[in-house]
Chain A
Amino acid sequence: MALRHFLGHPWRTGTLLASLSLAACAGNGVGLDANGQPVGTGGGGPPPPLSADFSSIQANIFTPICSVCHIGGGAPEGLRLDAADSYNLLVGVPSTEVPSLDRVKPGDPDNSYIIQKLEGHAAVGAQMPFGCPTTQPCLTATTIAFIRQWISNGAPPPAVATVHAAPLTVTSIVPDAVEPVNESPPQIMVAFNHELDVWQIDSRSMHIEKIVPGESTASTLVSEVVPARVSVSNANLRALMVWPSHQLASGHYRLVINAGAPTQVSDLAGNSLALAVPSESGESVISTFDVEVHP
């Protein structure tokens, strides 16, 4: 009776029908990948079935769910989970919330921080995906089991990443020049497209400089050289970590490969890092970043 009364007014019925007609407005997805981007620009094609393989996990979980927030310079905890960055920022890299735990510890899912975050029993912060289960579904136990299995298998990289056709280059750095960080970074993470030759890299390979930028590279003044400990993750030979010897105060910094050092950044095939033209001193700058520490 009440419904008849409601629908008895033509304008009400019309408005209701107009509302319902919006159902037809959902995109049909033609020509798009799972992220709603044109095929070819965002990875392309439907994702493979979920399996205990990194490419599958990336396509089914990290890209469509996690990288909605974990992307770009503002990614929470500096953890970018887009296809270009995720592996190198996950495997063998200490978490920023609980530095004693690696985000992914190959062979040990129980002590991999990502599993603790996904299962909701991490010591710090909320369960991921953020807001689950209220605003979005949590990952099911079955889904998490695939990630567990991948980690138990040693967290192998995606198969395509082992092809060394391209020269050795940096794929991502955290922190980078996009946004300043508001506290001294405990480490600088440099990810590469190839596995590195750990025997060719040690703390003589690079250092951090505090700089006063000039109008050109040549006029840039170095106000402090910050020694750093350099190491390659045993679990991920494509992730290089640089640990400053002390906390960095506010200022402009750059990460520099030491000129003439007996050790150099190179991959297992012996290819040296392809960088921009070295400075007059022969040093090569990998990255610049700003620290803005607020009291």
Chain B
Amino acid sequence: MIQRLTLAALLTVFVALLGVVPVQAEPYLAVMTGYKCNVCHVNPTGAGMRNDFGVTYAKVLLPEETVDTVLDSWTGKITDRLRFGGDLRTDWSRDTAPNTASQQAFALEQFRVYADFTVIPERLGIYVDEQIAPNGSINEEAYVRYGNTNEGFYLKGGQFYLPFGWRLQDQTAFVREVSGISMTTPDKGIELGYEHAAWSAQFDVTNGAANAATGSGYQVTSQVVYTKSLWRLGLAGSSEQSSGGDRRMGGLFAGLRTGPIAWLAEGDLVHDDSLPGGRTLAAGLLEGDWRVHKGHNLKLTAEYSDPDRAVRNNQQTRYSFVYEYTPIPFLQLRAGYRHYFGIPQNNLQNQQLTFLELHGYY
């Protein structure tokens, strides 16, 4: 009963959001501006290296104060063909959980560098996204793309992030964990993409995470997004064939701008036969980003996760309060608090996380 009520509540909120007429690589920025992902990013599905417009936006429109420096002409370009970029996030965090000693630590969350080389303008390019630290170098994305990623069809081949739902900065969001598709889980294969006016679509055939070590099986993922200036709606689906058990999932996601607030919502349903007995999982996200003032953003999220639809009383929720302050170009300070609510028997499902983050990018 509770599960039905929860789904009903999620659906009600979702439909209410779609029905209201009046609405920055964080997807809320895209919803806030009404832009498609490829307006600011080299990667047409978003995240990673920013293009000329993306860097200009980060210099001029995002920060509270625009600083007059030699960076005025910086757009990441070394030559007409070669471009570099990067992100460094370092933080202090404190975890507390019931019946468990609290712990706190400073950590280098990630230092990533991007490079893009245009071999033939608007036709052929090579892109690399490499995490340099921590834990040594890890390749996130490396692919060749053929075609124009701004209009018409294009083809990507190599390793890349799969398109499925909102590409959130928080990789621990329930919708990202349940779907298993996030910016920590790139896959190898090919992607056929299409960009035209308000439409964006991708069709991917990749190895599938469960097949990385086995050399068998495959994953097919597809996503379609329709973007208008005030709202957008997306539909995603994926099917993974694996000797350990197949996995199928679908997701519906939407964005809406209402004045100074950008709303994001996503609901995912997953059926996973690789889990004992086969399980159906569900996850939902509702996020509101309020641009309090230029350079200031307040992010509130409410999340829901049901790790096994066949089991009662096991649902989890999570609430986050994050304040993002961008005082000057290419520097962001984030302070946040996340509270998990789950079954009382499991301490980790009831933990609280407080963090302060310094984010530098170029």
Contact = CB atoms under 8 A, between A and B. Distances in A.
Contacts of B345: 29, 32-34, 46-47
B324 interface: no
A28 B344 contact: yes
Interface residues of A, number: 52
Contacts of A46: 345
Nearest to A139: B103
B9 interface: yes
Interface string B79-105: 000000000000101010100110101
Interface stretch (A129-137, A155-163, A205-213, A272-280): A129-137
B109 A180 contact: no
A136 B307 CA distance: 18
Interface of A, secondary structure class, is: loop
A25 interface: yes
Interface string A35-60: 11110000000110000000000000
B244 to A, nearest CB: 5
Interface stretch (B68-76, B113-121, B285-293): B285-293
B210 A15 contact: no
Contact of B344 (A19, A29, A126): A29
A119 to B, nearest CB: 13
Contacts of B216: 180, 292
A122 to B, nearest CB: 11
Nearest to B290: A6
A182 interface: yes
Interface in A130-170: 133-138, 140, 142-143
Contacts of A33: 345
A138 to B, nearest CB: 7
Contacts, number: 161
Interface stretch (B29-37, B160-168, B196-204, B309-317): B309-317
B351 A294 contact: no
B302 interface: yes
B214 A182 contact: yes
A133 B134 CA distance: 12
A135 B213 contact: no
B330 interface: no
A19 B300 contact: yes
B342 interface: yes
B16 to A, nearest CB: 7
A140 B100 CA distance: 8
A65 B286 CA distance: 27
Nearest to A22: B302
A218 interface: no
Given A11-B20, A29-B314, A37-B311, A20 B302 contact: yes
Nearest to A64: B346
Nearest to B353: A137
Interface string B133-174: 001000000000000000000000000000000000001100
Nearest to B19: A11
A28 B216 CA distance: 40
B13 A136 contact: no
Contact of B308 (A15, A36, A47): A36
Contacts of B185: none
Given A12-B261, A140-B101, A26 B95 contact: no
B6 interface: yes
A179 B16 contact: no
Given A11-B16, A137-B103, 4 more contacts: A18-B286, A20-B302, A26-B342, A47-B345
Interface of B: 2, 5-6, 9-10, 12-13, 16-17, 20, 91, 93, 95, 97, 100-101, 103, 105, 107, 109, 135, 171-172, 210, 213-216, 243-244, 258, 261, 263, 274-276, 286, 288, 290, 292, 300, 302-304, 307-308, 311-317, 319, 341-346, 348-349, 351
Interface of A: 2, 6, 11-12, 14-16, 18-23, 25-38, 46-47, 64-65, 72-74, 125-126, 133-138, 140, 142-143, 178-182, 292, 294
12 contacts: A12-B258, A23-B319, A25-B5, A29-B342, A31-B313, A36-B314, A73-B244, A125-B135, A137-B100, A140-B100, A179-B244, A182-B215
